[in-house]
Amino acid sequence: MKVATFVIIALFVMSSAALAISPINAMPVKESQINDMGTPDGREGGETIATAWMIYALPFADTGNTCDNIDDYDEVCPYTGSTSPDVVYAYEPPYDMCVSVSLCNSYYDTKVYVYEDVVGNVPLDGCNDDNFNCVDPPVSYTSWIESVVFLAGHTYYIVVDGYGGGCGDYVLEMDEVECPQPCDVICVGDPEGEPTCYDGYDDHYNAGCNATPPIFQIQPVGDTTICGESGVFDFDGSTYRDTDWYQIYPCGGVPISITVEAEFGVLFGFVEGIDTCVAPAFYSYTTAAECTPTTLTEYLPCQPFAIFVSTDAWDPAYVCGCEYSLTIEGYTEHCDPTPVEDTTWTTIKAMYR
C-alpha cells in the first residue's frame, strides 16, 4: 500500500527555486511559479514535427513565445498531465555527438524533451522539466537537458513545452558538449537482497515508513558495505522511487559515517521519527552526483534511526536496477532497550526474503 500523504521537508535552495526533498517515495505535487506568461508575437519554432524549424549547425540559439500555439505533445519527466502549447525544432547531426539543450533563460515554467525520428521515442536523458543547475534563471523551474546523445543518420525533434498549462517567452540554446563517461559502480559487500523494482512494484522489503505497516532492514552492529539498487517506476499512474531504509539504534557519543557511491544522482542520510512513522524527517542528509563517493558523518543521539538511500529525483532516466554501494562505519554499539537475540547477517537477510 502506498502512502498518500506527502511529508515535505525543505532542504535547500538552488538558484531562485526552493527544492523540497522528503524520505517519502511518492513524487510530490509541484508548485508552478509562472512569473511571466509572455505575449504572443509569432516568434517560435514549428507547430508540429512535420513543420519543425530546421537547425543546420551548432551552437544554435533562438527565442520565441508559445502562447499562440497549441498542445501537440507531452512527455513525463517526471510530471504528467501537461496541457501547455509547444513548438518544435529539428536537427540532423553530421556525426555522433552529445548535445546540451537549454531553456534556462526562459520566462515561464518550461519543459523540454527530444524525439529521435518519431514521436514518443525519447532517448536516454532526453527529457527535463526542472533543472536546478540553471544559473540565475529569470524565473523558477526552467529546463535544461545537460547532455543527450545525438547519433548521425537520425533526425532529432526538440520540443519546447511547459508545465501544466503554462506558456510564455522562451530562450532555446543548443550546443555540442563533451560526452560524460559512463558510470559503473563496482560494489564489494553484502547484497541488499531486494528484488529489482518495476512498473507496478509495491515495495514491502525495506520501504521503511513508505510501507504499511512500516518495514526496515535491521542493520547489525559493525562496519559493513551493502550493495543495493534503486530506481524510479510507475505505480497506479503515479511516479515512485525505490527507497531503502536500514535501521540502526546507536547509543550516542561516537561518530557514525555513511559513504554512498551510486549509478544515479543519490539522496541519502539519517532519518528520525521512525519509531512511529507519523512524521519521519531527515536528521541530516546530503546528495551526490553519479559515481561520486560521498560521506556523511554524525554524532547521533541514542534513539532509533534509519539510514536512507534513494534517487535524488523522480527522474525516469533512473531506471530500476541502478546500483549503489553503501558503507557504514562507526556503528559499534546497539542500544535498543528491547532485548534482541544475537543473529547473523544471513539470518537477518532471510527475514526479508
CATH code for the domain of 144? 2.60.120.380
- 71 and 160 part of one domain: yes
- 333 and 188 part of one domain: yes
Euclidean distance between CA atoms 36 and 34, whole angstroms: 6
Give a yes or no: residue 119 inside a domain: yes
The alpha carbons of the chain give a radius of gyration, in whole angstroms, of 22
Tell me the pLDDT of the chain (353 aa) as tens digits. Answer: 333 323 323 333 333 333 446 787 766 655 443 333 344 444 568 999 999 999 999 999 999 999 999 999 999 888 888 999 999 999 999 999 999 999 999 999 999 999 999 999 999 889 999 998 999 999 999 999 999 999 999 999 999 999 999 999 999 999 999 998 889 999 999 999 999 999 999 999 999 999 999 999 999 999 999 999 999 999 998 899 999 999 999 999 999 999 999 999 999 999 999 999 999 999 999 999 899 999 999 999 999 999 999 999 888 889 999 999 999 999 999 997 764 444 444 443 333 33
Give a yes or no: residue 154 inside a domain: yes
Final residue belonging to a domain, choices 132, 160, 177: 177
Q: In a 3-state reduction of DSSP, which class is residue 347? A: helix
Give a yes or no: residue 72 inside a domain: yes
User: What is the domain range of residue 346?
Assistant: 9-28+183-350
Give a yes or no: residue 345 inside a domain: yes
| 221 phi/psi in degrees, rounded to 5 | -65, 145
Cell numbers 536546478: residue: 132
Which residues are bridge partners to 171 per DSSP? 63
- 193 and 169 part of one domain: no
Q: How many domains does the chain have?
A: 2
Q: Are 174 and 206 in contact (CB under 8 A)?
A: no
- 207 and 81 part of one domain: no
3-state secondary structure 85-154: CCEEEEECCCCCEEEEEECCCCCCCEEEEEEECCCCCCCCCCEECCCCCCCCCCCCCCCEEEEEEECCCC
- 151 and 291 part of one domain: no
Final residue belonging to a domain, choices 152, 177, 202: 177
Give a yes or no: residue 33 inside a domain: no
- 193 and 332 part of one domain: yes
- 283 and 318 part of one domain: yes
- 314 and 286 part of one domain: yes
